[in-house]
Structure 1
Amino acid sequence: MSTDPLLALDRATVRYRGSTAPALSDASLEVPAGGRLAIVGESGAGKSTILRLLLGIEAPTTGAVRYAGQALARRDRARMRAFRRDVQCVFQDPRASLDPRRRVGATVAEPLVSLGLARGAEVRARVGRALARVGLPEDAARRFPHEFSGGQRQRIAIARAIVARPRVLLADEPVSALDVTTRVTIVDLLQELLQGEEMALVMVSHDLGVVAELCRESIVLERGRIVERGATSTVLAAPRHPYTRALVEAVPRLPPT
């Protein structure tokens, strides 16, 4: 049985043309089966760069992205097809990530159809099951995104991400565009979906409360460098790096009663 992590960065550095400093510098991380990893930092810290690498959208300038123990080769169509099936993403704003002109069923079915994983009645059945898992009725498939609330649209985005039964779910600030009450329901949904599953979660976030709820391990980024990593409970309760301490201290707290 392989002990390789499902998804990993191996000393990855990203430099963009015209920039004096790297967007990401010598970053390494591992995502095991069933792992729950948070990537934490302020805007510009390099979180989105890591996400693009893990999605295979970009390649590092130096270093490597590894999937199932092998370097990700974007020219290897068969391996990239397997990678696209096994690594799915939920984006920050469902209004931007859902095509308003497509019915929900077609949107959720997109990974199945584009990757050739199912056809005809099987597609419809799997879409129905995915919608049911996120708490939406099957008839939602016939409607358009604008007919749903923000929280429901994010449920649709999650259904699209899980319909192909991925091994890794990437989440890019999945609740930051939602109101407080809706955030709680989406966090609860993600908890429920991950319960007892081997599906790993990698979440990019600046919301330490959500990180504490969903992720066992955390990595803290500052200006493209990993400055701290460890169990989320330890990183948040006893941060070692000054940057991490500043992030934790900036979290609003209710005054004592």
Structure 2
Amino acid sequence: MTPVLELKDAAVRYRGTAADVVADVSLAVEAGESLALVGESGAGKTTLLRLLLGLARPTAGAVRFDGAGLNPRDREQMRRFRRSVQCVFQDPYSSLDPSRRVGAIVAEPLRSLGLDSRSTAAPKVAAALERVGLQADAVDRYPHEFSGGQRQRIAIARATVCDPRVLLADEPVSALDVTTRVKVVDLLAELKQERGLTLVMVSHDLSVVASLCERTAVLERGRIVEQGATSQVLGEPGHPYTRRLIESVPRLPV
């Protein structure tokens, strides 16, 4: 089976730096699976997510979508890619335009991709908000009228309104309190199951990774040092760095 997204020997070096931020990364994301990218801050997780989202280009290697190299100059390919791959960002307070009503925010992908007009988008927006547990009257309200967890649900509605195949999530629950975090994780699991979403998630929270992701890739200083089934990687880590990550998780004293 051809992976829906793939990195092949990918490297990124930012202008003015002497070393690669990520180097020699090969990673395949199969349709319908859930993959976590874990590692310390600065390990290169968000850079990999930017590559997979098409927001950054590799200085070496390739990014592939449905087996073909991702080419920003190929307008037809990029249109299919943008419809198929959507993202939920870390901070629900900054990822939503405070000057726009929720209905317009959620409808934005439909209109920017040329899928719907304002009138034809309305039923899809209502359905997307309902899927994430928000009432129909949310469309007429502004982001500041909602709690942090509700804002992240709005962001998830926006990302899924155009029925993408892949959802990329950059620390989607780290800005939320513990109780709200659990509810949003449960929501992502439900959407993945019901809609057959492929999920790629960056997370520092190994408990979230264990509950949501089938596979895990561990990054250290821009390189993948271990990857495989999450139960194996977190349960029986084979690399010293992975063991250190697991040992650093805070635990209540017995």
TM over 0.5: yes
The equivalent residue for 1:40 is: 38
TM-score between the two structures when normalised by the length of structure 2:
0.98
Work out the CA distance in 2 between the residues paired with 1:32 and 1:164.
20
Confirm or deny that 1:15 pairs with 2:16: no
Work out the CA distance in 2 between the residues paired with 1:75 and 1:183.
39
Instruction: Give the counterpart letter for 2:197 in structure 1.
Output: M
4+ residue runs of structure 1 moved beyond 4 angstroms?
none
Work out the CA distance in 2 between the residues paired with 1:120 and 1:252.
48
Confirm or deny that 1:203 pairs with 2:201: yes
Work out the CA distance in 2 between the residues paired with 1:89 and 1:32.
17
The equivalent residue for 2:29 is: 31
Aligned-residue RMSD, C-alpha: 0.8
Work out the CA distance in 2 between the residues paired with 1:244 and 1:21.
23
Q: Is the 8 A contact 2:111 2:118 kept in 1?
A: no
TM-score between the two structures when normalised by the length of structure 1:
0.97
Q: Aligned residues: percent identity?
A: 67
What is the deviation of 1:255?
Answer: 2.8
Work out the CA distance in 2 between the residues paired with 1:183 and 1:46.
24
Q: Is the 8 A contact 1:34 1:197 kept in 2?
A: no
* CA 77–180 in structure 1, closer or farther in 2 if over 3 Å, else same: same
How many aligned residue pairs are there?
A: 254
What is the deviation of 1:121?
Answer: 2.9
Q: CA deviation digits over 1:222-244, x for unaligned, max 9?
A: 00000000100111111111110
What is the deviation of 1:195?
Answer: 1.2
What is the deviation of 1:18?
Answer: 1.9
User: Partner of 2:43: helix, strand, or coil?
Assistant: coil
The equivalent residue for 2:210 is: 212
Work out the CA distance in 2 between the residues paired with 1:213 and 1:20.
38
What is the deviation of 1:219?
Answer: 0.2
What is the deviation of 1:173?
Answer: 0.1
What is the deviation of 1:9?
Answer: 0.5
The equivalent residue for 1:188 is: 186
Confirm or deny that 1:56 pairs with 2:54: yes
What is the deviation of 1:27?
Answer: 0.3
User: Partner of 2:231: helix, strand, or coil?
Assistant: helix
What is the deviation of 1:16?
Answer: 1.2
Q: CA deviation digits over 1:12-71, x for unaligned, max 9?
A: 011112222210001011111101000001110000110110010111001110001100
The equivalent residue for 1:76 is: 74
Confirm or deny that 1:171 pairs with 2:141: no
Instruction: Give the counterpart letter for 2:96 in structure 1.
Output: L
What is the deviation of 1:176?
Answer: 0.2
**Unmatched segments (≥5 aa) in structure 1:** none
Q: CA deviation digits over 1:188-245, x for unaligned, max 9?
A: 1111111143210000111100000110000000000000001001111111111100
The equivalent residue for 2:145 is: 147
User: Partner of 1:96: helix, strand, or coil?
Assistant: coil
Q: Is the 8 A contact 2:21 2:221 kept in 1?
A: yes
The equivalent residue for 2:245 is: 247
**Unmatched segments (≥5 aa) in structure 2:** none
Work out the CA distance in 2 between the residues paired with 1:162 and 1:170.
11
Confirm or deny that 1:115 pairs with 2:113: yes
The equivalent residue for 2:96 is: 98
Instruction: Give the counterpart letter for 1:35 in structure 2.
Output: E
